[in-house]
Structure 1
Amino acid sequence: MSDAIQPFPIRVPQTALIDLADRLARIRWPDSGPVRDGSQGPQPDRIRALVERWQGGYDWRATETLLNGWNSSRAVIDGLGIHFLHVRSPQSQATPLLLTHGWPGSILEFRDVIGPLTDPVAHGGHASDAFHLVIPALPGFGFSDKPSELGWGVGHTARAWGQLMQRLDYGDRWMAQGGDWGAAVTIVLAHMRAPGLAGIHLNMVMFQPTPHEREDATQEERRMLDDAERYDREYSAYMKLQCTRPQSLAFALADSPVGLASWIYALFQDVSDSDRHPERLIPLDHLIDDVMLYWLPNAGPSSARFYWEAAQEMAKGMPHGLIPLPAGVSMFPGEPIRLSRRWAKGRFADLRFFAEADHGGHFAALENPSTFVEHVRATFRAMT
Structure 2
Amino acid sequence: MEKQDSESTVALGECRQPIVWVADSAQLDVLCERWKSLSWLALDTEFMRIDTFYPVPALLQINDGTASYLIDPLSLDDVTSLRALMESPDVQKVLHACSEDLEVFQILLNCLPVNLLDTQVAAAFCGYGYSVGYANLVRAVLGVQLPKDETRSNWLQRPLTDAQQRYAALDVEYLYQITLHLKEQLAKLGRQSWVQEECDLMVPAFLESQKLSNASARFRGAWRLNQRQLAVLMELAAWRDQTAQSQNIVRGHVLRDKSVFAIAETLPTHISQLRKVPELSDKLIRRYGDRVIEIVEQVRAMPEEDLPPRLPRPPGTAQQTRINEMRDALAQVAEELKVAPEYLARRKDFEFIMRALQEGKSGDDLFPASLSGWRSEFVKPCLQKFL
Q: Same fold (TM over 0.5)?
A: no
Instruction: Indicate the structure with greater helix content.
Output: 2
Asked which structure has the greater RCO (Cα within 8 Å, sep 6+), the reply is 1
**Shorter-chain-normalised TM-score: which range?**
under 0.3
